[in-house]
């Protein structure tokens, strides 16, 4: 998993009400394993105190270029050389304007200017009023910053402190942390479009009852997130789950196996990789009642007949694009026992180059898993770990296979 352990991040705060979010951001960065050094402008200290940021980062905060703690009195040099990245959050409109002109009249802008360009990336999380963000001058400055190699994050949309609503909010702490994780992830799937299914399906018996399974969708969602971090364009077809959409991922919600099949058939034409991680129901009631089936006190039970659902993975694997190698298909098998034997047989039956097996009862709803990867040459294990870590490992494995494919 590409977390932030060992990363040295210089967190710069400029003036703006979004400084209150910087406290949670600092806490989240430390929790993710990063070492955080905070540098604040004089304006930032009007919104949040250096004492707060020192308590959260565990390091004394720098606010002045004349800080006597530095033996050589060159804080801007020392700080920029010790960082793996400089993150300005919030980045005000004024500060971004200073950056494009190389103006350096206080410690934070001086440190940004002094950083080794090829070694220390500069990442900005803008925050300002919606009119300030939309102003042509700001947009020109953002374009120039990007042209200069600065990584400028998107802004959020919503209510603003001034009472207006629109674009310009600083991203939330968890969104910025995820952007940093994505920033440092090798882009092994750059240029690829990955289509993923995740979660269970729900097959209605009547308007209030149905057949489903215990899949939480966590593994599929983790794979979607890892693929996006690896540079892929990701589309996620999700059954009924209570999970938030991974940042930067396009999500299509479905309910039944038939709906999932229809969505997948429409989306595979533009994909290079198809990962069928969903736990799709094998059967559905032949006829769903329009009204709730009521018991009448007689003790008789309703008779239900079932029909087989379409085999989504097998049908995609038989398409011309999959057969020609233009679409790489990965299947999943959730078994209760004899995993190797069942996964091997399923891979052959489905006609896919890679089948990923796991023991369903021990992983459904959990945050960890263990995977067995089965291909034509045999099998290898990914030992039990977090689903996030396994998702990164699986994406790297798939990317390596694409090179050979």
Structure tokens at 202: 């729900």
8 Å CB contact between 217 and 260: no
8 Å CB contact between 237 and 261: no
Instruction: Name the nearest CA neighbour of 37 among 15, 14, 70, 8.
Output: 8
Report how far apart the first and last C-alpha atoms of the chain are (Å, whole number).
Answer: 24
- The secondary structure of residue 311, as a DSSP letter, is -
- The secondary structure of residue 42, as a DSSP letter, is T
Instruction: Name the active-site residue from 112, 162, 188, 329.
Output: 162
Residue for token digits 């802008």? 109
With H, G, I as helix, E, B as strand and everything else as coil, classify residue 57: helix
- The secondary structure of residue 292, as a DSSP letter, is P
Q: For 1-135, where are the alpha helices, taking DSSP H only?
A: 19-31, 50-57, 75-82, 93-101, 107-114, 130-134
Q: What is the DSSP string of 131-175?
A: HHHHSHHHHHHHHHHHHTT-EEPP-EEEE-TTS-EEEEEPPPHHH
Residue 19 annotated to the active site: no
Cis peptide before 90 (omega within 30 of 0): yes
Query: Angle at Cα 167 formed by Cα 162 and Cα 171, nearest 5°?
Result: 95
How many angstroms separate the CA atoms of 112 and 178, rounded?
A: 22
8 Å CB contact between 221 and 178: no
Long-range contacts of 253-256 (CB under 8 A, 24+ apart): 254/201, 255/201, 255/202, 256/201, 256/202, 256/203, 256/204, 256/281, 256/284
The residues that are catalytic are 162
């Amino acid at each position: 998993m590409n977390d932030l352990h060992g990363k040295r991040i210089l967190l710069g705060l400029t003036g703006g009400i979004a400084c209150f979010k910087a406290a949670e951001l600092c806490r989240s960065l430390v929790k993710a394993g990063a070492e955080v050094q905070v540098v604040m402008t004089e304006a930032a200290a009007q919104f949040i105190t250096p004492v707060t940021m020192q308590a959260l980062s565990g390091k004394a905060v720098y606010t002045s270029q004349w800080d006597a703690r530095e033996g050589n009195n060159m804080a801007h040099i020392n700080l920029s050389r010790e960082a793996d990245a400089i993150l300005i959050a919030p980045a005000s409109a004024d500060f971004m304007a200073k950056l494009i002109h190389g103006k350096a009249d206080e410690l934070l802008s001086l440190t940004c200017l002094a950083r080794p360009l090829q070694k220390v990336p500069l990442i900005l999380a803008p925050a300002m009023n919606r009119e300030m963000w939309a102003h042509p001058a700001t947009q020109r400055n953002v374009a120039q910053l990007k042209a200069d190699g600065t990584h400028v994050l998107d802004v959020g949309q919503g209510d603003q402190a001034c009472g207006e609503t629109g674009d310009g909010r600083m991203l939330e702490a968890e969104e910025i942390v995820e952007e940093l994780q994505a920033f440092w992830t090798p882009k092994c799937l750059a240029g690829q479009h990955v289509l993923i299914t995740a979660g269970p399906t729900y097959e209605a018996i009547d308007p209030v009852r149905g057949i489903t399974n215990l899949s939480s969708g966590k593994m599929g969602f983790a794979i979607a997130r890892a693929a996006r971090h690896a540079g892929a364009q990701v589309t996620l077809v999700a059954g009924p789950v209570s999970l938030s959409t991974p940042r930067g991922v396009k999500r299509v919600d479905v309910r039944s196996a038939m709906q999932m099949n229809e969505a997948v058939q429409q989306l595979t034409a533009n994909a290079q990789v198809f990962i069928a991680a969903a736990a799709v129901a094998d059967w559905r009631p032949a006829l769903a009642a329009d009204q709730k089936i009521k018991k009448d006190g007689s003790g008789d039970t309703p008779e239900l007949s079932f029909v087989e659902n379409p085999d989504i993975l097998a049908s995609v694997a038989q398409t011309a694009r999959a057969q020609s190698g233009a679409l790489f298909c990965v299947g999943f098998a959730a078994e209760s026992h004899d995993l190797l034997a069942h996964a091997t047989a399923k891979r052959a039956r489905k006609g896919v180059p890679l089948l990923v097996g796991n023991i369903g009862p021990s992983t459904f709803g959990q945050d960890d898993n263990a995977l067995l990867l089965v291909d034509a040459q045999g099998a290898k294990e990914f030992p039990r770990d977090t689903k996030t870590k396994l998702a990164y490992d699986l994406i790297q494995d798939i990317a390596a296979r694409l090179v050979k494919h």
